Chains A and B, each alone.
Chain A
């Protein structure tokens, strides 16, 4: 009897444990040709990079820039943001902030360029992506480049979509 239950127990356990095994990945040969020939980017795509740890110096400069902006001193805001960008030239948040300050200053082309740079190095999806394209669209509208502005609005709509899957 006990040996019978022992056997049942072991079998049940084994059966339960099989469920724990993950599905083995499809062998390379089973994927579609299109998927097979696609290679991952040789270096990590910065498009999906996150910046969890911000340099405290950049934070301090950004805070000071915000204070200057609130005080209506856009020149000083620009100077402080430039100093921050010298420390972190590829920080998408900083670049977008600079784009928005340029927008406030009426420097449409610089607003567009900073926003586009922010998009290039940023997540290309979500909130920052929306700010990027909203800035670009606005800057283009102000320059009466209506077609280009419409394309920017269309791109803005795609920011909500998940980022296209890359391998």
Chain B
């Protein structure tokens, strides 16, 4: 066939008249191809150019919203242990070292020298400053600060709310990066960056030559601009079309934007690792993630490590592949030396330094899972999800890192001491500051850091006797009928329940105690006396009171409510007790103090709001009874567990078949709720005093405690009482006890001891 055609072609060529037609066709084809090319490619390039310009100009780096702990305010007289201070400083990203460097502190016994990094607080900036202080007897004394009586430690970052694309970054302005990082990145990634127009042909040729020699791709000739374009706009596949797009867009960016803008975008965009499901982008976040410090505080070796990781964050991961990461870092340090960025001395010291990154030092996002869970819920009540994520909000919370650590430890250690078999029990702790309602710690699982079922917020458990104080509060609010010495009958009783068998409540110890004063019935948690009191008060008022205090019990009005058959979460119990612990001023427990947008404007404040409870006299009487419960009632074993008692008030709670154990106790500075029980609701063989109080004591023995002496409202008067009889006595009567009363409600009958006294008078005084 081919043979046949060849002569035919030759024949055609030999025929001159047909030539112009062929030429014309060929030219036409070429012109058509060129036209088509220009027609298609032109718009394509035009589109790429426009797109690169527009998308770069409106790029908004989605930033995760950062959640911060409360900022520790250091001032004279602050109650703080040295170990707690270390916990606070470490949580805030400071590290032991030479305090001449920002972000380092040194400790010499009880003397601290701290170089705090600067921080943009919600109410103003605090620049980096050095402060010296001394701790004596758990009290802070500032010995050197720049003339101020108080200094705030920048708050610890305790978590973040991720944007929807799961890219985590802390955007840093070009001027705020350390100069060595900015020049170092150029020295390693793109030495011609200052001079090229987006593409570096020489670099490409060199890379191609090296790759050819090695027989594989070892060097990319991409400029920083090309890498940025790839990260920002393109998929990571390796194809000619993508390469072409990348080149066009790189040229376009260079034409439209300054080198500074491009470099800043690159430094904030480059991929530097993975934190669980979140991708870490940019040196700002990487510095915080790997070293726990702001990018400004990085040293030479740390900069070299991060710059080296830009080439392959998982290949050179310092925790997973430490040897490879170290070799890469040293290679980068050599490049720094070669280009004159550092001198030989710094190079040698940096090469000798450790990586300074370990699995433990890397900031884990699940560290404060339980508290972040609460923060997210409280935010969700006020903000839309898409406003919370991706816009770089800064959320200031009330968490105290040191108290949180103590609470986690107390639950872990306390439970392993009280349980019958290993791992049987679970528990929860809510710790708040009563007067402000600010939550300082929240533990919802004995394994801290495990994000899952948050018992502090979600475990609804029978509260048992923990409810009793509220019934007694209602009684005491009616001083004409009830005082702390009103006799109650602790005798067996049968309560008719329509449609059911009558209810016969029993005491925990199985015996009845006869006539007891009201305060004793509460302190000893006698069930039968309490039910008798409850029947006089009624179920409805009790449920109404709980609602007034911000807790919706949602339960049937069965009289067993008097004994705590109602199920509440530890958080709800804390809310109920908050006004008791703050002398009658109720406020909603809160985890968030302020939300600030990325530009530093406050977009939501959660101010301190007080709401007085009407019966403050009754509350102060109840407070007195709850002190009695700790010193002489069901909580009396506390003194053996806690070395120093600054005046703790508290109430134990135990439920049927010993399934749940509660202890709620408060001092001037802290309100602590502890629940202990089994997740499967099986009997756990524990009671409030034996199961929950040891955990509570474990926690409170590690908190700084101030002596608690509440004030007494107007209208409270004190009388000597012939305890336990409701009779007035005098100080000299044997066993007389001073008891507070709402003015006018004191008993009127006198104790026989008053007569004895007058009979014993010497004759010349009669």
Q: Do A and B bind each other?
A: yes
A87 cross-chain contacts in B, Cβ below 8 A: 73, 75, 78
Residue in B148, B612, B624, B718 whose beta carbon sits within 8 Å of that of A116 in the complex: B612
B738's closest neighbor in chain A, by CB? A39
A78 cross-chain contacts in B, Cβ below 8 A: 607
- CB–CB B610/A55 < 8 A: no
Provide the B725-737 mask, 1 if CB < 8 A to any CB of A, else 0: 0001111100000
User: Which of the listed residues B711, B717, B719, B750 has the most CB atoms from chain A within 10 Å of its own CB?
Assistant: B711
A59 cross-chain contacts in B, Cβ below 8 A: 149
10 contacts between A and B (CB under 8 A): A29-B758, A29-B765, A36-B730, A37-B728, A42-B738, A42-B740, A46-B712, A57-B75, A82-B607, A86-B438
Report the minimal beta-carbon distance from A84 to chain B, rounded to whole angstroms: 10
- CB–CB B730/A42 < 8 A: no
- CB–CB A120/B149 < 8 A: no
- CB–CB A45/B711 < 8 A: yes
Residue in A37, A44, A57, A110 whose beta carbon sits within 8 Å of that of B719 in the complex: A37
Within 8 A of A (CB), among B689-728: 709-714, 716-720, 728
B74's closest neighbor in chain A, by CB? A57
- Please name the 10 residue pairs, one residue from A and one from B, whose CB atoms are nearest each other, closest first: A46-B711, A57-B75, A39-B738, A89-B435, A57-B150, A56-B149, A39-B718, A113-B610, A37-B728, A43-B709
- CB–CB A39/B720 < 8 A: yes
- CB–CB B73/A55 < 8 A: no
Consensus secondary structure, chain A interface: helix
- CB–CB A28/B732 < 8 A: yes
Within 8 A of B (CB), among A23-68: 27-30, 33, 36-47, 49, 55-57, 59-61
- CB–CB B436/A89 < 8 A: yes
B584's closest neighbor in chain A, by CB? A120
| Known contacts A39-B738, A42-B718, A117-B610: A47-B761 contact under CB 8 Å | no
- CB–CB B75/A55 < 8 A: yes
Residue in B605, B709, B718 whose beta carbon sits within 8 Å of that of A46 in the complex: B709
| Known contacts A29-B765, A44-B709, A46-B709: A120-B609 contact under CB 8 Å | no
Binding site for B on A (CB under 8 A): 27-30, 33, 36-47, 49, 55-57, 59-61, 75-76, 78-80, 82-83, 85-87, 89-90, 110, 113-114, 116-117, 120-121, 124
Report the minimal beta-carbon distance from B74 to chain A, rounded to whole angstroms: 9
Check: B28 CB closer than 8 A to any chain A CB: no
How far, in angstroms, from A29 to B730 measured CA to CA in the complex? 10
B766's closest neighbor in chain A, by CB? A29
A117 cross-chain contacts in B, Cβ below 8 A: 585, 610, 612
Total number of residue pairs linking A and B with CB closer than 8 Å: 125
| Known contacts A39-B720, A43-B709, A85-B436: A33-B754 contact under CB 8 Å | yes
- CB–CB A41/B612 < 8 A: no
Check: B616 CB closer than 8 A to any chain A CB: yes
B584 cross-chain contacts in A, Cβ below 8 A: 120
- CB–CB A29/B757 < 8 A: yes
| Known contacts A47-B711, A55-B75, A114-B610: A40-B718 contact under CB 8 Å | yes
- Bin the interface of chain B by size: 35 or more
- CB–CB B77/A55 < 8 A: yes
- CB–CB B149/A60 < 8 A: yes
- CB–CB B611/A120 < 8 A: no
Within 8 A of A (CB), among B57-77: 73, 75-77
Residue in B123, B610, B716 whose beta carbon sits within 8 Å of that of A76 in the complex: B123
- CB–CB B719/A38 < 8 A: yes
How far, in angstroms, from A9 to B739 measured CA to CA in the complex? 54
How far, in angstroms, from A100 to B594 measured CA to CA in the complex? 23
A167's closest neighbor in chain B, by CB? B718
User: Which of the listed residues A27, A43, A85 has the most CB atoms from chain B within 10 Å of its own CB?
Assistant: A43
B609 cross-chain contacts in A, Cβ below 8 A: 110, 113
User: Which of the listed residues A37, A86, A117 has the most CB atoms from chain B within 10 Å of its own CB?
Assistant: A37
How far, in angstroms, from A113 to B746 measured CA to CA in the complex? 29
- CB–CB A37/B729 < 8 A: yes
- CB–CB A83/B610 < 8 A: no
B40 cross-chain contacts in A, Cβ below 8 A: none
| Known contacts A46-B710, A86-B73, A114-B610: A39-B731 contact under CB 8 Å | yes
Report the minimal beta-carbon distance from A73 to chain B, rounded to whole angstroms: 10
How far, in angstroms, from A27 to B762 measured CA to CA in the complex? 12
- CB–CB A90/B76 < 8 A: no
Residue in A42, A43, A113, A124 whose beta carbon sits within 8 Å of that of B612 in the complex: A113
Residue in B585, B712, B732 whose beta carbon sits within 8 Å of that of A113 in the complex: B585
How far, in angstroms, from A36 to B718 measured CA to CA in the complex? 11
| Known contacts A117-B610, A124-B714: A79-B709 contact under CB 8 Å | no
A42 cross-chain contacts in B, Cβ below 8 A: 624, 718, 738, 740
Given A43-B709, A56-B75, A60-B149: 20 more A-B contacts, CB < 8 Å: A37-B730, A38-B717, A38-B719, A39-B739, A40-B718, A41-B718, A45-B712, A55-B77, A56-B149, A57-B77, A75-B605, A78-B607, A85-B435, A86-B436, A86-B438, A87-B75, A89-B436, A113-B612, A120-B711, A120-B713
How far, in angstroms, from A18 to B417 measured CA to CA in the complex? 68
Check: B583 CB closer than 8 A to any chain A CB: yes
A86 cross-chain contacts in B, Cβ below 8 A: 73, 433, 436, 438
How far, in angstroms, from A44 to B433 measured CA to CA in the complex? 23
B758 cross-chain contacts in A, Cβ below 8 A: 29
B758's closest neighbor in chain A, by CB? A29
How far, in angstroms, from A98 to B696 measured CA to CA in the complex? 34
Check: B608 CB closer than 8 A to any chain A CB: yes
- CB–CB B754/A41 < 8 A: no
How far, in angstroms, from A117 to B746 measured CA to CA in the complex? 26
Residue in B123, B616, B746, B765 whose beta carbon sits within 8 Å of that of A120 in the complex: B616
Residue in A47, A79, A90 whose beta carbon sits within 8 Å of that of B712 in the complex: A47
How far, in angstroms, from A83 to B585 measured CA to CA in the complex? 18
